[in-house]
Amino acid sequence: MNCSVIVVSNSNEVLESTLLVSPDLKGDIEIIIERDAVSAAAGYNTGIKKSSGDILVFVHQDVYLPEGWFDQLFQAIDYLNEEEPLWAVLGVYGNEPDGIGHGHLYSTGLGCLIGYPLTHPIRIQTLDEVVLVLRRSTGLCFDEQLPGFHLYGADICLEAQRRGLTCHVIEAFCIHNSRGVALLPWAYWLAWLYIRHKWWHRLPVVTPTLQVTCWGGSALRYLVQRMIIRPFWLAKHQRRIGQRTADSESLWKQLCLEARVSPSLPSNTHNET
């Protein structure tokens, strides 16, 4: 498969110490870097125009892709080409409409593994933006009216479904070498309000960060919990917000040694549960 990797970057240090040390990216895979874009959608759409791949991988600059990551991706695509030929968007973490989340990755910001190993792709409503995979032949692109760098994964999934296409989370373990966030920034809420307005007829929409609802009850509960309840809890238990590691490769090896993840690929290419 002809594959292009597209990344929007605002930090050479993070990019070069995390994503670009991923072993599989040292081969002949096309890498397109868009620097200092005004929004994720604008940067990614520019990258699409520059790319030549049939499979487009949009990945954060602070993501480490372990060796064999693309083999897992291609296994999932082979499976979906047979079982779900209308697939359009893939990711490593997503939510079903009832709120159940699926995926498998490690977050330094949260300081833990998220999800569990998947044995087959699972259809979902929305995907997290940490890694998104699009099939070029669908003609999908990102909505440049969506401001900033949040919720574009949810938006493009909803657009795919509007066209009768499907979205799936797949087993393609990665490390999100992020910093922890105590409170979602104002830029997130601008994106949340945009999604609320654009997809009003589809609400409620469950996203990996927060549910988008008509009257904002989920947003209010989040703000009360994070601004009033959680600070007292953190102080009492002396918890700290997670930080990036300077060595993603060593973290991956450590996770393998602790048997928390497996460095080998699934032997069953059809990924049955």
Domain contains 273: no
Domain contains 101: yes
Domain contains 87: yes
| pTM, full prediction | 0.90
Domain contains 266: no
Token output for 71? 């083999």
Domain count, the chain: 1
Domain residues for the domain of 166 are 3-257
Q: Is the pLDDT of residue 14 over 80?
A: yes
Domain contains 269: no
**pLDDT tens sequence across 22-62:** 999 987 899 999 999 999 999 999 999 999 999 999 999 99
Token output for 265? 């690929």
Q: Which amino acid is at 74?
A: F
**pLDDT tens sequence across 52-94:** 999 999 999 999 999 999 999 999 999 999 999 999 999 999 9
Domain contains 153: yes
Helix 152-162 / helix 186-198 crossing angle, nearest 10 deg: 10
CA distances in angstroms from 73 to 90, 91, 133, 164, listed in the order given = 9, 10, 9, 23
Domain contains 265: no
CATH of the domain at 227: 3.90.550.10
